[in-house]
A = this chain, B = another copy of it.
Amino acid sequence: MSLIVQKYGGSSVANAELIKNVAKRVIEGYEAGNQMIVVVSAMGDTTDHLIELMGDITDDPDPREVDMLLTTGEQVSIALLTMAIHSLGYPAISLTGSQMKIKTNEKHNQAMITDIDTTRLKRELSENKIVIVAGFQGVNENQDFTTLGRGGSDTTTVAVAAAIKADRCEIYSDVDGVYTADPRLVKNASKLDYISYEEMLELANLGANVLHPRAVELANNYNLKLYIASSFNKTKGTIVRGDEKMEGKKNVVGVASDLGEIKITVERVPDEPGIAGKMFRSLADFGVNVDMIIQNLQRDELNDITFTINQEQEKLAVKVLEKIKRELRFNNYSIDRDVAKISIVGAGMQSTPGVAARMFTSLGENSINIGMITTSEIKISCLIKKEDANNAINVLHQEFKLDEINN
- Report which A residues bind B (CB closer than 8 A): 15-16, 19-20, 50, 53-54, 56-62, 64-66, 68-69, 71-72, 75-76, 78-80, 82-84, 86-87, 93-94, 96, 98-99, 120, 143-144
Q: Are B93 and A64 in contact (CB under 8 A)?
A: yes
On chain B, the residues within 8 Å of A143 by CB distance are: 98-99, 120
Name the distance in Å between A232's Cβ and chain B's nearest Cβ: 19
Q: Are A76 and B72 in contact (CB under 8 A)?
A: yes
Residue of B nearest to A62 (CB): B86
Name the distance in Å between A211's Cβ and chain B's nearest Cβ: 27
Nearest 4 CB-CB pairings of A with B: A16-B56, A69-B79, A72-B72, A68-B79
Q: Are B57 and A87 in contact (CB under 8 A)?
A: yes
Q: Are B65 and A82 in contact (CB under 8 A)?
A: yes
Q: Which of B53, B75, B98, B144 contacts A71 (CB 8 A)?
A: B75
Query: How many chain copies does the complex carry?
Result: 2
Would you give 28 A-B contacts (Cβ < 8 Å), ordered by A? A15-B56, A16-B56, A16-B57, A50-B76, A53-B76, A53-B80, A54-B79, A54-B80, A57-B84, A61-B83, A62-B83, A62-B86, A64-B93, A65-B79, A65-B83, A65-B94, A66-B79, A68-B75, A68-B82, A68-B94, A69-B75, A69-B76, A69-B80, A71-B75, A72-B75, A98-B98, A99-B143, A120-B143
Q: How far is the CA of A120 from the CA of B64 in the complex (A)?
A: 16
14 further contact pairs, Cβ within 8 A, besides A19-B57, A68-B82, A68-B96: A53-B80, A58-B84, A58-B86, A60-B86, A60-B87, A62-B82, A65-B82, A68-B79, A68-B94, A72-B76, A75-B75, A98-B98, A98-B143, A99-B144
Q: How far is the CA of A209 from the CA of B88 in the complex (A)?
A: 39
Q: Are A78 and B68 in contact (CB under 8 A)?
A: yes
